[in-house]
Amino acid sequence: MHTNPAAPTRSERSALTSAAAVLGMGLIVATLAGCSVIEPYMPEQQKHYDSYGDAPSKANSEDVAWFMPSWVPDDAKDVDVRLDTSDPGYVIAFTSKDGVDTAACTAVDGTKGGPAMTAGFLPDELPATGLRTCGDGRITAEIDGRWYGWTPKQPIESDGNDTLRSS
């Protein structure tokens, strides 16, 4: 009987089969869990919510990264959010009949270098004037009847990050 020195031994084949089975079971569990096991390790994420009520709030979110900023009105609809949990970057867009209560916001001089991250739902051109911040270090503006908020490349003073908590 001729043996091939490059061929795996019976015990090596058994170890490989066991490792493949464990990996496969892990993938099945992640799939059944809705990928929530994998999601926290993906720094850039994007989500859509039909309404404010569908989105997590600080009170009901179990995720350290996903909940609506306090300045987003309760009647917000068609909410798109993109964020990066490893680098500063947050973009939100929504429609609202009531709009943002800008009385609680302050004016921002200039664009501060534009958004720190991109999102396909941002308009091609963002305004350079009439921008505001609502206390969370993000710029807020209404553009063609839709509200937008974004973390700018150049930081602006904030009262804290109310859309990413530390644990």
Q: Which residues 6+ apart lie within 8 Å of 121 measured at CB?
A: 80, 82, 91, 93
User: How confident is the model over 6-23, as pLDDT tens digits?
Assistant: 666 666 555 545 544 444
End-to-end CA distance of the chain: 62
Q: Which residue has the higher pLDDT, 87 or 50?
A: 50
What rounded mean pLDDT belongs to the chain? 76
Report which listed range, 8-12, 47-51, 82-86, is most confident.
47-51
